[in-house]
Structure 1
Amino acid sequence: MTPRDGSTPTRHPEPTVLQAALTHLQCLLVARRSRVNPEGVNWHQYDVLELLRARGSMRPSELSDVLEVSRQTTSKALRVLKDLNLVTQVADGEDRRELSTSLTPEGHLFLARIARGHHDVARLAASVLTEGESALFAELCEKVAAAMESDQVR
């Protein structure tokens, strides 16, 4: 099909076996994530929730600093999480403008549901891989993840 601007469509090479396998696995993982996350919590919002779970109540400025994102980005994430009733904020200390953010009971339940989803995927993988394959798969996943993280820094 010719693009509307009349140019010739770009032909992409056929995917390699590795590319096809990674794409297929990624699609399945994203689909599974959508099933256990009907709220549509995005990656940054999830990071906020996990940080609150790990460290307890925090001020928005602390969340921004630890996550290395702007305060505006954190503020937007917190607004969505409050609307979903996953976090609550209360005035902190003498300066009533500063807020302390913490997980609600619903926030804890959400994270528990996500953790069960992670556990289920790991259990499924373990059920079809030998112990040696599991160790090799984990090693290779870490190797690719490290390369991806390194590439993000550039």
Structure 2
Amino acid sequence: MDEIQVKTLLNLDAIFKLSSAKSPSDATLRSAEWAIITQVDGQKSIDEIAKTLALSADEAINLFNGLFEKGLIELVSVTKAEKKLVSQAFFKVLNDELIKIVGPVAPYLIEDTLWEMEIKIENCDVKKIPEIIEAISEEIQDEMKRVEFQKIMLNEMKKV
């Protein structure tokens, strides 16, 4: 393995895909390696997969390194894709619509939900919007109001 490849594997932004030359079913893999294989899709970074599987950065890098050396995964990219951030206007609409349903606790509900999801308003990726809306919707007890809120927010999501 040359120096460039070693540096790549130490980069949590590296993205891999399954190898076209070798199948994972042809190798003996540990459960953690299989877990990674199921997540490798040519779009998720090592960091994203590590978070999904609750692995430390070191564990993830070691596991990816092993899979790479076995020829089961191939490097797609090392650069992190630009993430599109959610505008403050979206969060304003979210807040306003939620106030109509749950009243003045809406800002606290949004804040708590984002905190639990480890998301900051000023650095929120648009890919997280469906998760945010779903999590907040679960806090709305009245099913009719919940569905109405989801419809409104779905329309807002389309504008983003």
Where on the TM-score scale, by shorter chain, does this alignment land: which range? 0.3 to 0.5
Larger RCO, structure (CA 8 Å, separation 6 or more): 2
**TM-score (normalizing by structure 2):** 0.32
